[in-house]
Structures are given as C-alpha cells and as structure tokens.
Amino acid sequence: MRLVARLGGYLGRKNDPPPGHQLMWHDYSYLQLMCEGFSLSGG
C-alpha cells in the first residue's frame, strides 16, 4: 500500500498519518496506466 502511495509523493515519515483514500485512488489509477503502457510497448 505504501509503495503505491509513494507514486503520489507520500513520504511515510514517522509522524505522517497514513495515506488517504484520495491519494490511494489517484496513485492506483496512475499505476494501472503505467502497467497498460508497459504491456502496449511489448514488455
């Protein structure tokens, strides 16, 4: 979960709250686009 959140700039410092649902939704969409682009490129 934190790996996906890091795509959006979540730093995960000791005092940071957990990533919110909006950040996770945005970053998951970005991850899906990257995977789709990778598969379309023949990788």
pLDDT of residue 5: 84
Tens digit of pLDDT for each residue in 3-34? 888 887 889 899 999 988 888 888 899 999 99
pLDDT of residue 37: 96
Q: Residue 40: is its pLDDT beyond 80?
A: yes
CA–CA distance, 25 with 21 (Å, rounded to integer): 6
List the domain boundaries for the chain.
Answer: 2-40
CA–CA distance, 26 with 2 (Å, rounded to integer): 13
